[in-house]
């Protein structure tokens, strides 16, 4: 069977996925080197920020077979010197005849310049093969680069009648064990996990990624404009798992110096926003290098993020349980949220139904 550019780019995308959860703040990138007669002679992926890029691994794997070959890369090769040297120089020196790119790099130091460099050095370049898939794979990188904030994925567990708790102030188990493990696996892919202060007061979570492999520390973010979180919260007993960041306001800090000092003494880092606004808070996190945030609750924080238009992905677990009229409802009905999503993926995780989707926008 004859393979075309899309087939080889699919291979590069598959290779890139091996770096999931490892490369932030860098993007996921995969590359394959294909000989003139269509044989894959080398492949590689970006494994960790500061280490060689995917193209370098692929060229090393191909060796002398890279001369006259085609290099498929899911993202435009870099043309500047950061923690590693420019990939375009190595591509030219390897004697590659053609480069096929999934999507242009949005970073201002690269955007289109890598493509221009390759063409100026006599290499044929094709851009936009599997562009949608290559962009989707790196939404955190694209959003952080273009908007200055992290990608936000809103995650919630609901009963079949739409509740997140049995009653106000009551910690409530909703999903079964398999969904819990699935949720922890999701945490392992993100830079940070975030909750509101009410969630900490009611559920007292540790916000760690348990029973899954995670190569980097997980930043735990608490949105607490009033500094209600006590320094005795369980999360402060897990400081080795990753940084603990409390997003508050400058006014609150000025008015509560003792509470702020107690939280800092227990390991919290306080980030004061100028205004009490979820978008401003996300921009602050973006400036701290957070490229992806898993927003786990509760309803008030979810509502603020949804209405501000900063939610990019959604995951909803629905259990067969029902809590009845005394329960705490989510901020919106499940159907209203899912109607605003595209590329829905619905599957069963044990007895619970899981729905994933991307928020549809025209921008």
The arithmetic mean of pLDDT across residues 255-271, rounded, is 95
The arithmetic mean of pLDDT across residues 32-38, rounded, is 96
Angle at 135 between CA 5 and CA 109, to 5 degrees: 100
pLDDT of residue 253: 93
Domains and CATH numbers, the chain: 5-137 (3.40.140.10), 150-359 (3.40.430.10)
Beta carbons of 293 and 282 less than 8 angstroms apart: yes
Helix H segments across the chain? 5-16, 54-62, 87-94, 113-120, 131-137, 139-147, 177-187, 197-203, 250-255, 257-265, 278-287, 299-307, 334-338
Beta carbons of 229 and 200 less than 8 angstroms apart: yes
Q: Does the pLDDT of residue 95 top 90, yes or no?
A: yes
From 6-10, 251-255, 335-339, 359-363, the region with the lowest mean pLDDT: 359-363
Taking the CA of residue 281 as centre, how many other CA atoms within 13 Å lie in the half-sphere pointing to its CB?
27
pLDDT of residue 119: 96
d(CA 172, CA 169): 9
pLDDT of residue 362: 65
Beta bridge partners of 196: 223
Beta carbons of 158 and 164 less than 8 angstroms apart: yes
pLDDT of residue 106: 92
CB within 8 A of 294, min separation 6: which ones? 153, 155, 186, 187, 190, 192, 193, 194
Task: Give catalytic residue positions.
Answer: 55
d(CA 274, CA 74): 39
Q: Does the pLDDT of residue 297 top 90, yes or no?
A: no
Q: Does the pLDDT of residue 242 top 90, yes or no?
A: yes
How, if at all, do strands 40-45 and 30-34 pair? antiparallel
* 3-class state of residue 16 by DSSP: helix
Per-residue confidence band for 79, with pLDDT thresholds at 50, 70 and 90? confident
Measured in degrees and rounded to the nearest 5, phi and psi for residue 224 equal -145, 85
The arithmetic mean of pLDDT across residues 24-48, rounded, is 94
Helices then strands, each counted (H, E), the chain: 13, 16
Q: Crossing angle for the helix pair 278-287 and 299-307, nearest 10 degrees?
A: 90
From 150-154, 167-171, 319-323, the region with the lowest mean pLDDT: 167-171
Per-residue confidence band for 40, with pLDDT thresholds at 50, 70 and 90? very high
Q: Does the pLDDT of residue 215 top 80, yes or no?
A: no
pLDDT of residue 82: 62
Q: Does the pLDDT of residue 83 top 70, yes or no?
A: no
Residue 193: alpha-carbon gap to chain centroid: 10
């Amino acid at each position: 069977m004859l393979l075309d550019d899309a087939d080889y780019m699919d291979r590069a995308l598959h290779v890139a996925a091996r770096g999931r959860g490892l490369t932030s703040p860098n993007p996921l990138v995969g590359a394959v080197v294909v000989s003139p007669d269509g044989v894959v002679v080398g492949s590689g992926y970006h494994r960790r920020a500061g280490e060689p890029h995917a193209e370098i691994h692929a060229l090393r794997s191909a060796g002398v077979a890279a001369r006259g070959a085609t290099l498929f890369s899911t993202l435009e090769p870099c043309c500047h010197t950061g923690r590693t040297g420019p990939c375009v120089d190595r591509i030219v020196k390897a004697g590659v005849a053609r480069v096929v790119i999934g999507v242009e790099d949005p970073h201002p130091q690269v955007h289109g310049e890598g493509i221009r460099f390759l063409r100026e050095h006599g290499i044929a370049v094709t851009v936009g093969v599997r562009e949608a898939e290559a962009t989707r794979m790196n939404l955190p990188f694209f959003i952080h680069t273009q908007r200055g904030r992290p990608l936000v994925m809103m995650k919630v567990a609901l009963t079949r009648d739409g509740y997140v708790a049995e009653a106000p102030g009551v910690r409530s188990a909703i999903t079964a064990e398999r969904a819990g493990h699935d949720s922890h696996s999701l945490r392992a892919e993100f830079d940070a996990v975030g909750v509101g202060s009410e969630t900490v007061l009611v559920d007292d979570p540790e916000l760690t990624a348990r029973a899954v492999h995670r190569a980097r520390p997980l930043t735990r973010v608490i949105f607490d404009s009033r500094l209600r979180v006590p320094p005795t919260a369980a999360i402060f007993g897990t400081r080795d798992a990753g940084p603990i960041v409390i997003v508050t306001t400058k006014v609150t800090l000025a008015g509560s110096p003792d509470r702020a000092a107690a939280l800092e003494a227990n390991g919290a880092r306080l980030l004061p926003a100028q205004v009490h606004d979820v978008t401003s808070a996300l921009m602050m996190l973006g400036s701290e290098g957070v490229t992806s945030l898993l927003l786990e609750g509760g309803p008030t924080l979810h509502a603020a993020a949804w209405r501000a238009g900063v939610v990019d992905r959604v995951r909803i677990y629905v259990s067969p349980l029902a809590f009845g009229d005394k329960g705490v409802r989510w901020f919106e009905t499940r159907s209203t949220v899912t109607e605003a999503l595209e590329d829905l993926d619905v599957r069963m995780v044990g007895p619970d139904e899981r729905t994933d989707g991307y928020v549809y926008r025209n921008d």
